[in-house]
Amino acid sequence: MADIALGAPIWADSLTSDLRADTAFFEGLFGWSSEDAGEEFGNYTTFSLPGAEPRPVMGIMPAPPGMAPSKTLHLQFKVGSCDASVGEARRLGASLDAGPEDVGGMLRFAMLSDPNGASFGVVEALDPATGFGAWGEPNAIAWAEYHFDGVPAEAMRFYQELLGWNVDVPPWEDPANPRPYASLSPGGGGAEFGGCHAAESFEKGIPSQWSVMVAVGDADAVAARARDLGGTVAAEPMDVPGLRIAGVAAPSGTVVGVHSPREWG
């Protein structure tokens, strides 16, 4: 994978109440390999696309005592200085949940909640190999999405100021829409990595949050396989413009989105 641009997603992980079951689930669902870092690192387990040189795609670790397993993956963004970014985030209205702290000489990270209460992280890569080894390809995370009960660009202004994002209205959006979709890309150059949409129906009762989506060949088949592997389907497969999407939950309850092309051949 090419160098990750500043401001772009650099990693995603979750806390689990059942490391063994969730590891087997993700391996079976996406064909990933896994590596447990051992007790010294809290049994943090990294998933990768297998090959001669495995390419990391996400991680999980056991939830510490008193902490609940993750409902969604924790999305983290690349920054030049973790400490400076934490200071700026707090100035902009965020709250600090964990860190900053170093991990094995590879990175310095912190977890925060944005002004709407959505969890996110910032990561300073001390080792250039830190982060996603694959993005946007089959069986790798390919998209980050945020929902907001209001005008999406207003929610993204925090991240625009903190991380320097480009926040744009895509050309397919209806000019008459008072709450247009916001597409997101790194301000210093790089591909679009996600978006923010206005909450509708049941989402209006759910606090704003980040979610991630893994690219797959057939969202319906993956949803069916999730049930066979001991997980559940959190959101039944449905069509959106150009895509077929679904939400699947690991045995511990962490939800991951999947998407596949709507048209075949």
Q: What six digits make up the tokens of 187?
A: 């301000």
Domain closes at, from 90, 125, 160: 125
151 and 219 together in one domain: yes
Whether 203 and 245 map to the same domain: the answer is yes
Total structural domains within the chain: 2
Assigned domain for 45 exists: yes
Q: Is there a single domain that holds both residue 157 and residue 223?
A: yes
Last residue of a domain, one of 92, 125, 158: 125
- Is residue 204 domain-shared with residue 246, that is, in the same domain? yes
Kindly state whether residue 104 falls inside one of the protein's structural domains.
Answer: yes
Does 4 reside within a domain?
Answer: no
In angstroms, the CA 59 to CA 52 distance is: 20
Structure token pair of residue 33: 């390999």
- Summarised one tens digit per residue, pLDDT across range 94-125 is 999 998 999 988 999 999 999 999 999 999 99
Q: How far is CA 136 from CA 86, 160, 186, 212, in A?
A: 28, 22, 15, 11
Please give the residue range of the domain that contains residue 71: 9-125
* Contact criterion met (CB below 8 Å) for 183 and 195: yes
Co-location of 181 and 248 in the same domain: yes
Residue with tokens 């993700």: 26
Claim to verify: residue 86 and residue 160 sit in the same structural domain: no
In the predicted structure, residue 264 carries a pLDDT above the cut 70: no
Q: Is residue 3 part of a domain?
A: no
User: Is residue 32 domain-shared with residue 109, that is, in the same domain?
Assistant: yes
pTM of the model: 0.94
Domain boundary among 62, 92, 125: 125
Residues 95 and 187 in one domain: no
pLDDT at 120: 98
Question: Would you tell me how many other CB atoms lie within 10 Å of the CB of residue 216?
Answer: 24
> What pLDDT, on the 0 to 100 scale, is given for residue 189?
83
Q: Which one, of 166, 174, 218, 175, lies nearest residue 193 by Cα?
A: 166
182-222: pLDDT as tens digits: 999 999 888 999 999 999 888 888 899 999 999 999 999 99
Q: What are the pLDDT digits (tens) for 22-64?
A: 999 999 999 999 999 999 889 999 999 999 899 999 999 999 8
pLDDT > 70: percent of the chain: 98
Q: C-alpha distances in angstroms, 97 versus 12, 47, 71, 117?
A: 16, 25, 16, 11
* Whether residue 173 is found in the same domain as residue 216: yes
pLDDT tens readout for residues 60-92: 999 988 888 899 999 999 999 999 999 999 999
Residues 104 and 24 in one domain: yes
Residue 1 lies in a domain: no
Answer yes or no: do 15 and 118 share one domain. yes
* Strands, sheet with 182-185, edge to edge from the N-terminal-most edge strand: 166-168, 182-185, 194-198, 141-148, 209-215, 255-261, 243-249, 232-240
Residues 99 and 176 in one domain: no
C-alpha–C-alpha distance, residues 174 and 165, integer Å: 22
The reply to whether 79 falls in a domain is yes
What is the CATH classification number for the domain harbouring 230?
3.10.180.10
